[in-house]
Structure 1
Amino acid sequence: MEAVPQDDFKWFDEGFDGFPKRLPEDVVEYIVFIIDSKLSDVQTRERLQAFQRAMTELEKKFLKEYIWQRESINLELFREEGTWLLRGSTSYGDSVADEWLIVYFLRKLSKQFPDAWMHIYDTDGEFLLIEAANALPKWLNPEVAENRVWINSHKLLVIPLEKGANPKPLSTKEALTIIRSSPGQLQHLPKLEEEAFHRLKGYPKAISDNQHHATIPLPRKVAAILQTNPSYIAPVVEAFYLRDPVSLRLIQPDKSRQLLKFPPVDWVNVSTRFTKVLYAQLRSQEWTPPSPWCEALLSQSSKNSISREKAEIGVKLAAGFEMLVQHKLYENKRAVREIHMLLEDIENGDEPLPTDAEISQWPEREDDESWLDIDFSAFEAELAGGGRTGPDIEGLDGGGFGDKSAQENLRKMVQRFEEFLRDEDAGLDGAEIDDMDVDNDDDEAGQRGWEDPESGNEDGDVEFDENEFKNIMSEIMGISAAEKSVLLDEARELASEEEQGQEEDEEIKKLSELMEEELLSHGALKLDPEPGTATATKHAIGGVGKGKGKQKIEEIEEEEDEDDDGEEEIDIDFNLAKNMLESLKGQSGMAGPAGNLMGLMGVRFPRDEEDEEEEKPGKS
Structure 2
Amino acid sequence: MCNLAQDNFKWFGEGFSGFPKRLPEDCIEYIIHIINPTLSPNQTRAHLLSLQKASSLLQKKLLKDYIWQRDPFALSLVHEEGQWLLRGCTNYGDSIADEWLIVYLLRELSMQFSDAWIRVYDTDGEFLLIEAANALPKWLNPEVAENRVWIHDAKLLVLPLSNPSKPQPLTLKESLAAISGSPSTFQHLRAVEAEAFRRLMPYPGAITQNQHYATVPIPRKLAAILHASPRYVAPAVESFYLRDPIALRSLQPKDAKRLRFPPEDFVNVSVCFTRILFAQLRSQEWAPPGIWSEALASLSEAAGNGGAVEKVEIGIKLAAGFEMLIKDNKNADKQAVREIELLLEDIESGNEALPTDQEIAMWSAREDDEKWLDINFEDFEKELAGKGANSSDTPKSGEANEEQNRGFGDKAAQENLRKMVERFEAFLNDDDAGIEGAEGLDDMDFDNDDPEDDDAVDDSDEEEEIEFDEAEFARMMREMMGMPSEDDKVTLIDEARALARAEELGSDEEEELNDGDEIRKVMERIEAELNESGALDLDITPRKIVASKGAVKGKGKRRAVELVQEYEGESEDDGEVDIDFNLAKNLLESLKGQGGLAGPAGNLMGLMGVQFPPDEDDRVTVVNDRVER
Scaled by the length of structure 1, what TM-score is found?
0.67
Counterpart residue number, 2:70: 70
Change in 2 beyond 3 A, CA 1:332/1:119? same
Counterpart residue number, 1:260: 259
Distance 2:133 2:445 in 1: 15
Deviation at 1:431, TM superposition (A): 2.8
Contact 1:29–1:88 (8 Å) recurs in 2:
yes
Contact 1:371–1:395 (8 Å) recurs in 2:
no
Distance 2:448 2:24 in 1: 20
The 5 A counterparts of 1:162-561 are 162-163=162-163, 166-254=166-254, 259-304=258-303, 307-389=308-390, 397-427=404-434, 429-436=436-443, 438-440=445-447
Amino acid at match of 1:76: S
Distance 1:87 1:146 in 2: 17
Change in 2 beyond 3 A, CA 1:459/1:94? farther
Change in 2 beyond 3 A, CA 1:170/1:442? closer
Contact 2:256–2:262 (8 Å) recurs in 1:
no
Q: Secondary structure of the residue that 2:142 maps to in structure 1?
A: coil
Deviation at 1:429, TM superposition (A): 4.1
Counterpart residue number, 2:472: none
- 1:529-550 Cα deviation digits (max 9, x unpaired): xxxxxxxxxxxxxxxxxxxxxx
Distance 2:143 2:74 in 1: 30
Distance 2:449 2:249 in 1: 42
Contact 2:303–2:309 (8 Å) recurs in 1:
no
Distance 1:393 1:198 in 2: 29
Deviation at 1:141, TM superposition (A): 0.8
Deviation at 1:12, TM superposition (A): 4.1
Distance 2:127 2:269 in 1: 40
Contact 2:35–2:115 (8 Å) recurs in 1:
yes
Contact 1:148–1:159 (8 Å) recurs in 2:
yes
Amino acid at match of 2:225: I
Counterpart residue number, 1:152: 152
Q: Secondary structure of the residue that 2:145 maps to in structure 1?
A: coil
Q: Secondary structure of the residue that 1:213 maps to in structure 2?
A: strand
Change in 2 beyond 3 A, CA 1:111/1:265? same
Distance 2:430 2:463 in 1: 17
Contact 1:32–1:86 (8 Å) recurs in 2:
yes
Contact 1:77–1:87 (8 Å) recurs in 2:
yes
Contact 2:160–2:185 (8 Å) recurs in 1:
yes
Distance 2:250 2:12 in 1: 48
Amino acid at match of 1:404: K
Deviation at 1:440, TM superposition (A): 1.4
Change in 2 beyond 3 A, CA 1:460/1:290? farther
Counterpart residue number, 1:537: none
- 1:386-415 Cα deviation digits (max 9, x unpaired): 224589999993211011121122222222
Contact 1:240–1:320 (8 Å) recurs in 2:
yes
Change in 2 beyond 3 A, CA 1:208/1:364? same
Q: Secondary structure of the residue that 2:368 maps to in structure 1?
A: coil
Change in 2 beyond 3 A, CA 1:185/1:314? same
Change in 2 beyond 3 A, CA 1:288/1:428? closer
Distance 1:66 1:395 in 2: 29
Counterpart residue number, 1:120: 120
Distance 1:457 1:404 in 2: 49
Change in 2 beyond 3 A, CA 1:225/1:428? closer
Deviation at 1:170, TM superposition (A): 1.6
- 1:55-102 Cα deviation digits (max 9, x unpaired): 111111101121111111111111112211111111111111111111
Q: Secondary structure of the residue that 1:296 maps to in structure 2?
A: helix
Change in 2 beyond 3 A, CA 1:394/1:191? farther
- Which of the pair has more CA radius of gyration? 2
Counterpart residue number, 2:140: 140
For the pair 1:49 / 2:49, whether they are aligned, the reply is yes
Distance 1:245 1:202 in 2: 41
Q: Could you tell which deviates more after superposition, 40-49 or 395-404?
A: 395-404
Change in 2 beyond 3 A, CA 1:460/1:155? farther
Deviation at 1:385, TM superposition (A): 2.6
Q: Secondary structure of the residue that 1:117 maps to in structure 2?
A: strand
Q: Secondary structure of the residue that 1:350 maps to in structure 2?
A: coil
State how many pairs are aligned.
441
Q: Secondary structure of the residue that 1:87 maps to in structure 2?
A: strand
Q: Which structure's residues are more often helix, by fraction?
A: 2
Contact 1:216–1:314 (8 Å) recurs in 2:
yes
- 1:422-447 Cα deviation digits (max 9, x unpaired): 2221246443141245341589xxxx
Percent identical residues: 61
Distance 2:449 2:45 in 1: 39
- 1:290-344 Cα deviation digits (max 9, x unpaired): 1111111111122237612111110100000100000101011111111111111
Contact 1:142–1:439 (8 Å) recurs in 2:
no
Distance 1:414 1:459 in 2: 41
Amino acid at match of 1:65: D
Contact 2:167–2:444 (8 Å) recurs in 1:
no
- 1:258-301 Cα deviation digits (max 9, x unpaired): 72111101111111100001001101111111111111111112
Scaled by the length of structure 2, what TM-score is found?
0.66
Change in 2 beyond 3 A, CA 1:437/1:420? farther
Unmatched runs of 5 consecutive residues or more in structure 2: 1-9, 451-458, 465-629
Q: Secondary structure of the residue that 1:340 maps to in structure 2?
A: helix
Distance 1:20 1:192 in 2: 28
Amino acid at match of 1:71: D
Distance 1:249 1:111 in 2: 51
Change in 2 beyond 3 A, CA 1:164/1:369? closer
Q: Secondary structure of the residue that 2:312 maps to in structure 1?
A: helix
Amino acid at match of 2:286: W
